Copies of this chain bind each other. A is one copy, B any other.
Amino acid sequence: MKKTPKAIEKILAAIAGSKTLCVTGHIRPDGDCIGSQLALALAIREHGKDVVCWNQDPVPDKLRFLDRTGILCTPEKGRSFDCVIAIDAASYERLGTVCEFIQDRKLLINIDHHTSNTRFGDLNWISSRQPSSGELAFRLIKEARWPITPKIANCLFTAISTDTGSFQYPTTLPSTYHTAAELVHHGADLSTVCREVYQSHPLSRVRLQQHLYNHFKLTQSNRIAYCWLRMRDYNRAGAHPNESEGLIDYIRDIEPVVVACIFEEVAPNQIRISLRSKDHSVNVSDIALQFGGGGHKAAAGARIEGSPNEIQRKVLKAIRAALK
């Protein structure tokens, strides 16, 4: 292994010197967030520390298998911490309501892989070259020489797998595959991860997929695909708004499509747009920026106030301009 970076040394020293710790992540947590948090919490707990694991929002259904004993929970009042570790959160605000409950702390550690990270911690380890925070958690645990139990391996494997689109995204590094190999060697249970994470859509979600296939539109010689998800569509499907995650991939993956857009009605006259690009010459974060949002070149989003018709007209106009 390469020489331990200073940031990791400092983080490990801070953890060693702490008795009470909180591991927290971002709002609407995804596989990378949940997996990294749980792996760190489990590894640190092994050393007789008092560790809580807090998120504003609950664990998504398909990730519950990682936390059968309920380590992850919503924050509670009146706790003080020697050390708070935020992982996978690009900014302090991304911790959501957890912020209120971690005021009484000695140290804030910020571990993340997002380029846009605001370096909000007292100690910051931001490695934007890494495709997932799970790989940072793995590195930390390895450097500390903490044992990688099958449970920890499962959490880290899920984190890395989900944030690389199952090892498909071009951001995936050779070291990502080596890490996956090591985690499988340490007992990551591919059969369970595969079934729970990738092969298990609730019926409500399946109804949203059906809605998508029946209502998507193609325009600009099939180079733009878009679809609306209204509040009534969620109601009809019996689905929760957080079940829309990843739906956009189904229309992005249509061959001639270059840009895909989902318009989601969050509240009356409040629309969330999600954008995906399949062509590196079309940067959707530039489009999202025009509407006060942001993201990456290939995936971005924004929240816009206004009438649905007007928003659709403006957004499609901006996409058409980007395609030229």
- List the interface of chain A (C-beta within 8 A of B): 161, 165-170, 172-178, 180-182, 184-185, 190-191, 193-195, 198-203, 206, 209-210, 213-214, 222, 249-250, 252-256, 278, 280
Contacts and interface: CB of A to CB of B under 8 A. Distances in A.
Contacts of A185: 174
Contacts of A254: 201, 203, 206
A214 B211 CA distance: 9
A172 B166 CA distance: 13
B203 A210 contact: no
Given A167-B180, A168-B166, A175-B181, A209 B200 contact: no
Given A178-B177, A213-B213, A214-B214, A255 B200 contact: yes
Please give me the 3 A-B residue pairs with the lowest Cβ-Cβ distance, nearest first.
Answer: A177-B181, A170-B191, A174-B181
Contacts of A190: 168-170, 172
A170 to B, nearest CB: 4
Given A201-B255, A253-B200, A177 B170 contact: no
Nearest to A252: B199
Contacts of A250: 209
A157 to B, nearest CB: 10
Given A194-B168, A253-B199, A254-B201, A181 B178 contact: yes
Contacts of A209: 213, 250
A288 to B, nearest CB: 20
A168 B214 CA distance: 29
A210 to B, nearest CB: 4
**Of A174, A195, A209, which is in contact with the most chain B CB atoms at under 10 Å from its CB?**
A174
Nearest to A254: B206
A178 to B, nearest CB: 5
